[in-house]
Each structure stands twice: as C-alpha cells, then as structure tokens.
Amino acid sequence: MATLNSGDLTSNSLYTPFPQGDVGVRSGEIAVGTDLAAADVLNFVTVKKGERILGVSLVSSTSLDTNGTQALSFDVGYDYGTGDDQETDADAFVDGGTVAGRGLVSEGAIKGLTFPADGTVTATVAVAAATAAAGTLTLSVIIG
C-alpha cells in the first residue's frame, strides 16, 4: 500500500475560511502513474479543527483506466486526530466512485461534517484499474 500527498497538503498554502464564517473551496491535486493499487491512500487537503465539510468532488484529468470494462474506483473519506482520539472513515463521503473516463468521479454524500480535530480528506483506491493509465486527480472540498 502506498500513500501519496498533494503539494497543497504539504505546502500549507490552502485557503482558510474558518473562523470568519466564509465558505471556500480547498483543492489538492496528485499526479498518479500506472502503479495505483487497491488500498493506496492519497492525502489531498487538510481540514482544521472546527471546519465543516459541505461537499467533496474528485475529478480525473484523463481516463485512468483505459480498459473496455473499467474497474478503477475510489473511496473518499477522512482521517483526523491522533492516538486514542484518531478517527478514520475511508469512505465517509464516497463509497466506490467509479472512474468513467475524464471528468467527475463522484460527489460526496455527507454534508455538514464538522472536524473535531485537525485532519485530512483522503481518497483510497477501492479497486485497481484493469488497464491503468497515468493522469492527475484533483479533490475539491467545500468548507464552511
């Protein structure tokens, strides 16, 4: 299992609407090769304690699975806290969103999740590609 981090995650240059009450979109992108495997975790953006997730979307720049019967799918979830207070739900927002060519992979279902501790919004490879192709994934999170 591999873990990939977006440059936005590690640069700490993300838009921060909290605590002024604004709504903003925070995005991170990760270039992926043909080596994505089931259970690989991609860490896209950070979320600060008290921020509320209003929605998520995962977009692919190209088809990451060029097989006639595409298999590649992703879960989108979160990880926050540390030690005994750590909470992880890999598919809280999207459970098995299938990549169907270029474009929107899936939009998240949970609305209004407030993070009780600093954390990360992640995507996990649920099913590996039948015929993998390289591309870029962008995860956008609406935060209020």
% of the chain exceeding 70 in pLDDT = 81
The answer to whether the predicted template modeling score (pTM) of the entire model surpasses 0.85 is no
What's the CA gap between 40 and 49, in Å, rounded? 25
pLDDT tens by residue, 97-136? 876 555 555 565 666 888 999 999 999 999 999 999 999 9
**Residue 110 or 144, more confident:** 144
Q: Which residues pair with 29 in a beta bridge?
A: 138
In a domain, 125, yes or no: yes
Residue 144 lies in a domain: no
Q: Give the separation between CA 49 and CA 36, rounded to whole angstroms.
A: 30
Answer yes or no: is 87 within a domain: yes
Q: Per the structure block, which two tokens stand in for 101?
A: 């060519």
The CB-side HSE value for 8 (13 A sphere, CA atoms) comes to 24
Neighbouring CB atoms inside 10 A of 96's CB total: 12
Does 18 reside within a domain?
Answer: no
Instruction: Identify which has the larger pLDDT, 81 or 14.
Output: 81
Question: Does the residue 28 lie in any domain?
Answer: yes
How many independent structural domains does the chain possess? 1
Can you give the residue range of the structural domain that contains 93? Answer: 3-13+23-137
Asked, for residue 143, whether it belongs to a domain, the answer is: no
**142 domain-assigned:** no
- What average pLDDT does range 2-31 have in this prediction? 72
